[in-house]
Amino acid sequence: MNIKLQQNKTLPTKENIDAISNWLIIFAHHPEKKTSEKAAFAYQDNLLTRHRQLDLKETGNTPVVLDLPNKNSSHVAFAKIEATLSSFDLLTLARKMVAAHASFNPVKMGLVVSGFTETVSERVAEALLSAVLAASATMPTFKSAKQTPSKCNRLFLYGVRTRHGFMQSFAMAEGNALTRNLSALPPNKLTPTAYLKQIKALAREHKWKLEFYDEATLKKKKAGAFLAVAQGSPKADAGIVRLRYTPKTSNGEKIFLVGKGICYDTGGTNLKPANYMFGMHEDMQGSAVALGILLALTKLDFQRPVECWMALAMNHIGPLAYKPNDVITASDGTTIEVVHTDAEGRMVLSDTLALAAKEKPALILNYATLTGACIYSIGTAYSGVFTNKKEWHTSLIKAGEDSGERVWPFPLDEDFDEMIKSDIADVKQCSQENGVDHILAARFLQRFVKHDTPWIHIDLSSSNRKGGLAHIPTDTIGFGVRYSVNLLLNNYLNK
């Protein structure tokens, strides 16, 4: 992202404000203070007066918008908040504030954070910066009319100055933008072939080692579960991508990122109805999330080796497509009775996880737009999280609260396996009963994570949300990049 940030510990002067036409301003509300607030910077009185005229609550996540009485009629979105405002609400507020400037498409913007402690000031500034970066990312468009991309290339931050220059925020924003960009591409533009071509270009740019297990290789590895899904495609371009990032100096064991990359999901033989098939080009978002995380960690010179495993395929209909009651054998020897061909994600991931787990990583993080049941359970504002380390539940929730990408854990008790018990194979692919398919899918996947490998699976129920989520302004969210980078960099699993 070609946006430069200039930090200033002091608050802006009148001259500073007059020189920039677009501003985002957040100042602190201190409910314990009964006296009137003293203006800390130029035009603060104007903002507070407008706030009172609108008869707003003392604080909230709805910004106030006005033009200042200066020569540029500087356009300002501002808010008063308490320091305890949650990360999710803070990011949501920041998104709304940035949206107030969308019609201007400014080249430069001013950001002001005033009245907080140093730690809180940095958190508030980070939210504003993240919202600007998310809104500035270029998304795919195929309209005949020429589209104007974001012109923003300079940010002037007042009231906060850090040594790190918000490097993590820039890296996460770049990773998220990559995820959203790939996920938004139409299915005729992002086939497995086209996807692999883009991955190869990224690997060259960032010096990742790349291996591609094509269908011939997967046959040798006896990856029958993956190949069952791929066999319905008219073109044999499915396969598993394995990318390796190796830091210059390493101080930890390797972490694996595994993602579902179904570039389009018709449902297969169990064809989806039209309303449920539309949008299925985003069924590869799990793989794009894993790729976005790898990019962000690379940008930050992460000090542990990381591998990204991406299961790329299409779930097509056709005379060769797999079908209910088929029995296939996965690469680890597990026999699977097929119940519903629209449960293809767990099929391609089972072999991908089995092959990845053979390498005995210290941790596997798994991402997939896997089940409608997870959306029915918690909606699209949260994503579901599952792990074979039950003691991590509290830490996983906390990482979501702190990052603003919220998750909620579900149980993985062994008795759920009764619902996927098969009479003729080791396991059923899914159950014909309704209700807990998100849990059954996770139980199914867990079978393939061998060698006592710690494993976290995120069912991306919040991968797409109308109007955006937190700081992300597009329907395609790219959920998981910010969450996972924070989870790994801030050591939540070791606290």
List active site positions.
272, 346
Burial class (CB in 10 A: 0-12, 13-18, 19+), 71: exposed
Neighbours of 188 (CB within 10 A): 10
Closest CA to 17 of 215, 159, 141, 121: 159
Rounded-to-integer distance, Cα 439 and Cα 428, Å: 14
Rounded-to-integer distance, Cα 398 and Cα 471, Å: 18
| DSSP state for residue 147 in the 8-state scheme | P
Which residues on adjacent β-strands are paired with residue 64?
78
Pairing of strands 306-315, 255-265: parallel
3-state helix, strand, coil in the chain (%, to 5): 35, 20, 45
For helices 167-184 and 285-299, give the axis angle rounded to 10 degrees: 150
> What's the one-letter identity of residue 96?
K
| DSSP state for residue 391 in the 8-state scheme | G
Decide: helix, strand or coil at residue 78.
strand
Residue carrying the six token digits 């080796």: 305
